[in-house]
Amino acid sequence: MPNIVLFSGSSHQDQSQRVADRLGLELGKVVTKKFSNQETSVEIGESVRGEDVYIMQSADKSRAPVSVKLVANMLSVAGADHIVTMDLHASRIRGFFDIPVDNLYAEPAVLQWIRENIAEWKNCILLGSQRVTSIADRLNVQFAFIRKERKKANEVDRMVLVGDVKDRVAILVDDMADTCSTVCHAADKLLSAGATKVYAVLIHGISSGPAISRINNAAFEAVVVTNTIPQEDKMKHCTKIQVTDISMILAEAIRRAHNGESKSPRPKAN
């Protein structure tokens, strides 16, 4: 693609490379250094004057020591025409200049994984956030809800199931899972209500603290996460975690943004 440069932050270079490959691009050269006095140096290794520049970064702070804003400011000084950051963790595209904020959705990747990996998907029922209704419509299956009453953050006091899951495969869909207490309790609730199997699809699988232990001990057939956050270390300790790739969605968003097309049409799952 002409007049476009794609840079990767330090948090998730594997995903950035996947997107670059889909677009037929080489990743831009950038070197970041952190000194003992905590000051940071950023060196841009190629010309970006007059180019549209995209920066991909996950919000995983342990892997992202250098501020995206710092890199964006350096690129602006170097003469980039437009600069857009793609925050993988929040799954959104953000313009620092005249490009508006756009949310990107992992729905195509979720649909593809369900159809290819759950043999009984036509007899499933989906549960989760508001977006679950759209996924259920695309699959032509029913949906239900679990109402959560929280005592405090990461701790649910009571769950109420609204809908019938008896003799069905239940698929929990959520935007994010941190300690996984809620989603694991939900799995128990669904099995006790008569679900034959339970899967979880978690767009951002943070899985901090006791999350891995909880997933291992829960009754999930599989816990599916996207690769907005690196998952390799978590998969070594939990065989239930499976990853679905969203690089096709990110690459298509960049292509549309670069060509001035609407970002609203979503890429179709193959």
Q: How many domains does the chain have?
A: 2
Is the pLDDT assigned to residue 267 strictly greater than 80?
no
Q: Are residues 119 and 227 in the same domain?
A: yes
CATH number at 61 reads 3.40.50.2020
Q: Are residues 64 and 124 in the same domain?
A: no
Is the pLDDT assigned to residue 135 strictly greater than 90?
yes
Spatial distance between the Cα atoms of 65 and 9, rounded to a whole number of angstroms: 9
What's residue 65's pLDDT?
46
Residue 200 lies inside a defined structural domain of this protein: yes
Q: Are residues 55 and 11 in the same domain?
A: yes
- Give 122's DSSP letter: G
Q: Are residues 92 and 124 in the same domain?
A: no
Joined tokens for residue 161: 């199931």
Residue with the larger pLDDT of the pair 155 and 40: 40
Q: Are residues 156 and 205 in the same domain?
A: yes
Joined tokens for residue 17: 């490379």
Q: Are residues 128 and 239 in the same domain?
A: yes
Dmax over CA atoms of the chain, in Å, equals 61
11-25 pLDDT, tens digit each:
788 999 999 999 999
The percentage of the chain sitting over the pLDDT mark of 90, rounded to a whole number, equals 57
Contact 112, 247 (CB under 8 A): no
Residue 269 lies inside a defined structural domain of this protein: no
Residue 265 lies inside a defined structural domain of this protein: no
Residue 266 lies inside a defined structural domain of this protein: no
